[in-house]
Amino acid sequence: MNLYLMRHAEAVELDAADVEHDTDRPLSEKGQRQADRVGRLLKRLDVSLDLVLTSPLLRARESAKKVLRAMDAHVNVKELEVLAPENGGDAIWKAIRAENATDILVVGHLPSIANLARALLGSLSEQPLRFHKSSVAALRCEGSGNAPRVSLEWMLTPAAIKRLVSRRTEEEPSESSTARQRAH
């Protein structure tokens, strides 16, 4: 199983959002850009998803939908109460194992998403991985049950994602390089 762990993108502050409950905080403009970049990067990396699991909190649900929109992916999004911020990694892993999917994006919060990473990586990580808002980690899980063999394939911070997405590839030449090519 390929498991992509993402902490939700930036949400508006509670007092600035004109929202009464933390659970109802939407993504900020910056958060919308962050989630869009994650989706564009996953698409560029040819990540294919079977399922998206998300916390029921609005900012996680919006992050997941924005990522999928940017990937141009049409997969089922399932809300899991166990992905709420304070839950432990073992409970989340049990819920993930119950799903019939091999490529899963999990969008959650701190500390639960870091707790899941630590539970899966075991001794490889004395401290949980540092999940900044809109960070993504790719884990490869082999085997089933409570103790799969898990390896960290890669992890990217929002700053790295921004740099990678903003770089033009050879398939996407800039206007100035296209004009120079036509001139020669």
SS3 content of the chain, % helix, strand, coil (to 5): 40, 20, 40
- The tokens for 96 are 């993930």
CATH code linked to domain 2-183: 3.40.50.1240
Task: Quote the pTM value.
Answer: 0.86
89-136 pLDDT, tens digit per residue, is 788 999 999 998 999 999 999 988 988 888 888 755 556 688 999 999
Domain boundaries, the chain: 2-183
49-92 pLDDT, tens digit per residue, is 999 999 999 999 999 999 999 999 999 999 999 998 888 778 89
For the chain, give the number of residues.
Answer: 184
Say how far apart CA 25 and CA 11 lie, in whole Å: 6
156-169 pLDDT, tens digit per residue, is 999 999 999 987 54
**DSSP state letters, 114-138:** HHHHHHHHGGG-SS-----TT-EEE
Say how far apart CA 83 and CA 73 lie, in whole Å: 22
